[in-house]
């Protein structure tokens, strides 16, 4: 689920998904052809009518419009700031200009074999194949690669989609380790107004690890799927005449029905993230945006404020609403690699990252994500359990913070891939990440 799935009108989003599905059956414009500057989106004063991307008149998250929209969400939706504070940023470390240029050339030439393929691909080719908008790689704390494409520029910001979940989950894990959140507590004991919702009898840990037994379908091809009800509830736009459903994220969560049993298996359902956002906000009496600002953005030396979309009642979308700068996401990844330390300061206990790196119960992960393999999911982070012990924050259309402890590498990719499933991107991404990690280890 992406950062607008639960916030724009259901009809508009359904049209976008149908459009994407149709394009999946036909020839899709390449990354170069669909570049916003080539397409001419929103250029001119005013732009020509056929180059306007507006809300709600056009499907602004359909392809190829999304290649512009991912950098401009706050022009369509209300947002709340994640403040970096007033202090100076802490610069990232870079090699000398000539060494940086040489490294970029070497990394661009790294080759790998995509999953289910016999043909080699270069790193540079993979960036275009995956509609990359921004790529930054840190090795041993030094930036060794940084490029911008499409709508994203050095001082720009990009929607991170479901990587937002990992920010929410990180905040929750910090609270658990620090003793301010009991992950064995039942949801109803923290949020009494959850009532008879299926979430009521789940533990906080089951919400954090998405092992709840709750009824919720994110099948975008099904017009009767729960995602459309959630979308209608969360839309910040005025509700249509005759609408009698829930209003906002939290009202929707109060009417979720059970499906299966809590703790039995991992089911990737975004409503868990919004339930977790409500839990941590209630426990500490602060919004997820305020907590992300206080515990992360104000302390990582961030260059830019981030922002997060909100529903019609001002509740931040904890499951996918953050837009942020590429370098600040790299700082967040480096914080995870350093087990809670950054810029000489400990921001949270090392146990937080140790718990995430250990992963969830792999027997509950199942085979729903074949491109990842025998992975797991815990505290809203994906754990690959590969030979390098990599773990990641992931978002639809290609968003990634990939942390490789063995290679001492942090990789951040922001993208606008046409299809709304990372399973289409992983075959030319995960092997590429491994190949670059191995290249860096051999330097």
What pLDDT, in 10s, does the model give residues 347-385? Answer: 999 999 999 999 999 999 988 899 999 999 999 999 999
- pLDDT for the residue numbered 28: 85
Domain span at residue 431 reads 97-157+318-442
In a domain, 288, yes or no: no
Nearest to 228 by CA among 3, 12, 2: 12
SS3 112: strand
In a domain, 437, yes or no: yes
Rounded CA-CA distance 119/104 in Å is: 23
Give the torsion sign (CA, 169, 318, 2, 409): negative
Tokens of 20: 């994407």
Residue 329 has pLDDT above 50, yes or no: yes
- pLDDT for the residue numbered 20: 46
In a domain, 267, yes or no: no
In a domain, 393, yes or no: yes
Residue 16 has pLDDT above 70, yes or no: no
Look up the CATH number of the domain holding residue 341.
3.40.710.10
In a domain, 425, yes or no: yes
pLDDT band at residue 420 under the 50/70/90 scheme: confident
pLDDT band at residue 156 under the 50/70/90 scheme: very high
Domains: count for the chain: 1
Q: What is the mean pLDDT of residues 45-52?
A: 94
Assign residue 116 a region (left: φ > 0; alpha: ψ between -120 and 50; beta: otherwise): left
């Amino acid at each position: 689920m992406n950062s607008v799935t639960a916030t724009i009108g259901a009809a508009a989003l359904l049209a976008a998904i149908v459009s994407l599905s149709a394009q999946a059956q036909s020839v899709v414009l390449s990354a170069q052809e669909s570049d916003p500057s080539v397409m001419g989106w929103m250029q001119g004063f005013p732009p020509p009518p056929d180059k306007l991307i507006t809300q709600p008149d056009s499907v602004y998250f359909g392809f190829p419009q999304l290649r512009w929209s991912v950098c401009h969400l706050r022009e369509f939706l209300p947002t709340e700031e994640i403040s970096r504070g007033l202090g100076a940023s802490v610069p990232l470390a870079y090699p000398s200009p000539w060494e940086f240029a040489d490294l970029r050339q070497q990394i661009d030439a790294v080759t790998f074999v995509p999953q289910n393929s016999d043909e080699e691909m270069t790193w540079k080719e993979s960036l275009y194949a995956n509609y990359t908008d921004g790529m930054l790689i840190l090795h041993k704390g030094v930036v060794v690669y940084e490029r911008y494409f499409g709508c994203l520029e050095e001082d720009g910001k990009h929607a991170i989609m479901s990587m937002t979940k990992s920010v929410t989950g990180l905040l929750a894990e910090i609270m658990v380790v620090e003793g301010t959140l009991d992950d064995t507590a039942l949801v109803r004991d923290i949020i009494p107004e959850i009532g008879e919702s299926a979430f009521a009898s789940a533990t906080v840990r089951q919400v954090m690890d998405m092992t709840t037994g709750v009824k919720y379908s994110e099948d975008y091809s099904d017009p009767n799927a729960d995602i459309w009800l959630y979308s209608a509830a969360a839309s910040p736009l005025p509700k249509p005449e005759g609408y009698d459903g829930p209003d906002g994220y939290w009202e929707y969560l109060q009417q979720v029905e059970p499906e299966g049993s809590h703790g039995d298996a991992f089911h990737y359902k975004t409503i868990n993230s919004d339930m977790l956002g409500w839990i941590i906000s209630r426990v500490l009496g602060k919004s997820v945006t305020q907590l992300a600002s206080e515990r992360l953005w104000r302390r990582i030396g961030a260059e830019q404020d981030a922002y997060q979309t909100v529903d019609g009642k001002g509740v931040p979308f904890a499951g996918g609403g953050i837009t942020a700068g590429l370098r600040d996401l790299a700082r967040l990844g480096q914080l995870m690699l350093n087990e809670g330390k950054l810029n000489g300061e400990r921001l949270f206990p090392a146990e937080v990252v140790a718990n995430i790196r250990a992963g969830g119960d792999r027997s509950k992960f199942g085979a729903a994500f074949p491109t990842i393999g025998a992975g797991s999911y815990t505290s809203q982070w994906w754990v690959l359990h590969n030979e390098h012990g990599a773990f990641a924050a992931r978002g639809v259309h290609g968003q990634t913070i990939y942390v490789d402890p063995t290679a001492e590498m942090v990789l951040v990719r922001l993208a606008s891939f046409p299809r709304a499933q990372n399973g289409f991107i992983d075959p030319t991404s995960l092997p590429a990440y491994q190949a670059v990690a191995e290249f860096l280890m051999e330097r």
